[in-house]
Amino acid sequence: MRKDTAIEDLLRPGGALSVYLPGYEYRQEQERVCLAIEEALSTGRHCLVEAGTGVGKSLAYLLPAARAIQQGYTVCVSTYTLNLQAQLVQKDIPLVQTLLPEAGIKPAVLKGRGNYLCLQDLEVAEQSLFGYNDPLMQRLKEWASKTATGDRADLDFAFPAWADVAANVDTCRHQECRLYDRCFYYAMRTAAAAANLLVVNHALLLSDLIVRQTEPGASLIPHYDIAILDEAHRLEDAATSAFGIEVNNARIHHFLDRVAHIRGINPDKARIEATKKVCEKLFATFPRGSGEYAFEDVLNPASEEQLHELAGEVLLGLQAIVQELTAHAKEAEVDTVRELLEGLARRGSRLREEMEQLIFGNDPNYIQWAECNSASQDGQNLPRRSQRQAHTTLHYSPVIVADILKKALWSNVKSCVLTSATLADTTGFTYVRSRLGLEGAAVEHIEGSPFDYARNAILYVPRHLPSPKDIP
């Protein structure tokens, strides 16, 4: 890749940026970060950059990224938060497109499946869950007929049962879906295939790595040559969560409730109730109000044996329910009923597999741990009633993600840029590199904040507010 000094000219006083950006102030720190990243991209190395608040990191990596795109590479920018994603899409990327039109940037934002309305599940939910005259359902249908994206972010009212109508891996029939031609999720993916600047979040980036590792030829996001990970200090946590498994009592209850209330079939309610009760006993094995702890810290040999027995019963209950759903699906004559039953059977199967791995898994790199009295991520996607029940979440998480990232990410891209305001410690990047498995030659750069905190900042301690501990 050719080293192009034009980037410096864009940033410097009197450059194009000062013309297009009202109130622009030149910052040497931003130029140095920009040049460090450009050096890494042009030499095919990875890059770690810590840049303090106010440096202008986004522009500092988007400008060299634009040059790489101009050379024919596809760049994937990943953030941890939606706020930063929105800033990139609404402000920074359009600015770089204006500054460097010759780069031919074609951006696309990709979100996880669960953000998009599934038209098949909408029909299924209307017939099996809500009834045709439900006012909320009517409102959602009206929105579905008008929205261009099907993206939940564009929904201007709350739909508490979004999890029942969102695209998901269990109920999706892919190309076999009768609504595939109108599918919002696949339309987004088709549009992204033509893009050369992909914007994703860490969760989707990591889910894509898992799919690529487990299903050769499959992916959730298109191929990219260069990855830029902003808010990279959150990468290890995001990877621990993505490469692990979590099951909470709300998720199991939600599934069982859903099966119990399917219209048109008469599921074995006694079995569903019995499975629910055993689940409650299983989750009650873990002391409430104890925060986060490893299984081994609270279980003794007797309670561990009891946990295994209860888990065995839950697995048998789920297996029988899945078999019953599959049998009903084979007999179903109406498309939507069959789709619902098959989708629920797949969901139950996955729940069973995850539960088995979580309780009986013995990978030495994984830890079993519990998190009590806090709503989990899954709980946030469930109906409000289920969220209240999300008191206990069981996890099976990798202790070290370094090897997984090394194999799945660092070795598969030409360059990877990690940046954050807090990435280094007193040893520089040694610690973070070891945690993330990022070995070998890399450009490293640390830049402080251009803000004069000593003169311009004030520390305010509100003494009149109650302590967070006192808020019920």
Binding site for ligand SF4 (CB under 6 A): 118-120, 167, 171-174, 177, 179-180, 183, 185-186
Nearest distance in Å: CB 171, ligand SF4: 6
Which CB atom, from 30 or from 171, has the smaller least distance to ligand SF4? 171
In whole angstroms, give the CA distance from residue 299 to residue 470.
Answer: 31
CA dihedral 332, 333, 337, 340 (to 10 degrees): 60
Which CB atom, from 41 or from 340, has the smaller least distance to ligand SF4? 340
Which CB atom, from 190 or from 427, has the smaller least distance to ligand SF4? 190
Rg of the chain taking only CA atoms, in angstroms: 25
In whole angstroms, give the CA distance from residue 39 to residue 45.
Answer: 8
Which CB atom, from 212 or from 346, has the smaller least distance to ligand SF4? 346
Which CB atom, from 190 or from 373, has the smaller least distance to ligand SF4? 190
Tokens of 377: 């991520």
Nearest distance in Å: CB 122, ligand SF4: 8
Edge-to-edge strands, sheet with 75-79: 107-109, 197-201, 75-79, 226-229, 415-420, 46-51, 442-447
Which CB atom, from 267 or from 343, has the smaller least distance to ligand SF4? 343
Nearest distance in Å: CB 124, ligand SF4: 9
Nearest distance in Å: CB 114, ligand SF4: 10
Nearest distance in Å: CB 165, ligand SF4: 9
Q: Is there a contact between 415 and 226 (Cβ–Cβ < 8 Å)?
A: yes
Which CB atom, from 32 or from 113, has the smaller least distance to ligand SF4? 113
Estimate to the nearest angstrom the gap between the alpha carbon of 203 and the chain centroid: 3
Nearest distance in Å: CB 129, ligand SF4: 16
Q: What DSSP assignment string belongs to 338-350?
A: HHHHHHHHHHHHH
In whole angstroms, give the CA distance from residue 391 to residue 393.
Answer: 7
Nearest distance in Å: CB 254, ligand SF4: 19
**Residue position matching structure tokens 């099951």:** 247
CA dihedral 77, 80, 84, 88 (to 10 degrees): 10
Which CB atom, from 120 or from 201, has the smaller least distance to ligand SF4? 120
Tally of helices (H runs) and strands (E runs) in the chain: 22, 11
Nearest distance in Å: CB 185, ligand SF4: 5
Residues present in the chain in total: 472
In whole angstroms, give the CA distance from residue 469 to residue 472.
Answer: 8
Nearest distance in Å: CB 314, ligand SF4: 28
Which CB atom, from 137 or from 227, has the smaller least distance to ligand SF4? 137
Which CB atom, from 92 or from 342, has the smaller least distance to ligand SF4? 342
In whole angstroms, give the CA distance from residue 326 to residue 314.
Answer: 18
In whole angstroms, give the CA distance from residue 176 to residue 248.
Answer: 32
Question: What distances in angstroms separate CA 293 from CA 183, 286, 305, 369, one per listed residue?
Answer: 42, 9, 18, 6
Estimate to the nearest angstrom the gap between the alpha carbon of 278 and the chain centroid: 31
Task: Give 90's contacts (C-beta < 8 A, 6+ positions apart).
Answer: none
Nearest distance in Å: CB 175, ligand SF4: 8
